[in-house]
């Protein structure tokens, strides 16, 4: 915690650089979109975490599992259990309703991208 740090607050027993919070917010919406895109092929939770890890994107298990459950409850995803090597795995895939929502989200994402690209005006290669 130096003069160079950004905005600091004490929470849950440690100092939080405020941009950790902003980073969190950046995930909202995006993670849902990401998961829906991935689950066009059937996958289980742990597999998703590892797959994204390989692609240098860290998603917390604490984030992903509740997310999968929520999307499942909303019928955005479908799921089925399989026993593999004595351990149960819950496989998820996007549902027909989910595909419709996914389309909308990709639309939004494209529009957001376009706008930001314009505002940054070529200073970033997006």
Query: Which residues make up the interface to a second copy (CB under 8 A)?
Result: 6-7, 18-19, 22-30, 32-34, 37-38, 52, 55-57, 74-76, 97, 100-101, 104-106, 108-113, 115-116, 118-120, 124, 126
- Rounded to a whole number, what is the distance in angstroms from the first to the last CA of the chain? 32
- 15, 19, 46, 57: which one contacts DNA (CB under 7 A)? 46
- Residue by residue, DSSP assigns 87-111 as EEEEEEEE-HHHHHHHHHHHHHHHH
Q: Which does 57 bind (CB under 5 to 8 A by kind): DNA, a second copy, none?
A: a second copy
Does 96 interact with DNA (rule: CB under 7 A)? no
Binding of residue 63 to DNA (CB under 7 A): yes
Q: Classify the C-alpha dihedral 70-73-79-85 as positive or negative.
A: positive
- The DSSP code for 10 is E
**Min dist. Cβ of residue 41 to DNA (A):** 14
Of residues 32 and 42, the one with the C-beta less far from a second copy: 32
Told to check if 55 binds DNA by CB under 7 A, we report no
Query: Which residues is 91 bridged to in the sheet?
Result: 44, 80
The span from the CA of 114 to the CA of 87, in Å, is 45
CA–CA distance, 6 with 21 (Å, rounded to integer) = 12
Residues near DNA, by CB under 7 A:
9, 11-13, 21-25, 27-29, 31-32, 44-47, 50, 59-63, 65-70, 84-91
């Amino acid at each position: 915690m130096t003069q160079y740090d950004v905005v600091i607050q004490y929470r849950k027993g440690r100092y939080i650089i405020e941009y950790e919070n902003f980073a969190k917010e950046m995930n909202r919406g995006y993670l849902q979109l990401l998961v829906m895109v991935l689950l066009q092929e059937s996958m289980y939770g742990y597999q998703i975490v590892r797959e994204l890890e390989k692609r240098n994107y860290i998603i917390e298990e604490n984030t992903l599992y509740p997310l999968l459950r929520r999307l499942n409850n909303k019928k955005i995803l479908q799921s089925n259990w399989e026993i593999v090597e004595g351990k149960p795995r819950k496989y998820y895939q996007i549902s027909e309703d989910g595909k419709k929502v996914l389309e909308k989200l990709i639309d939004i994402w494209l529009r957001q991208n376009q706008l930001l690209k314009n505002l940054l005006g070529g200073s970033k290669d997006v």
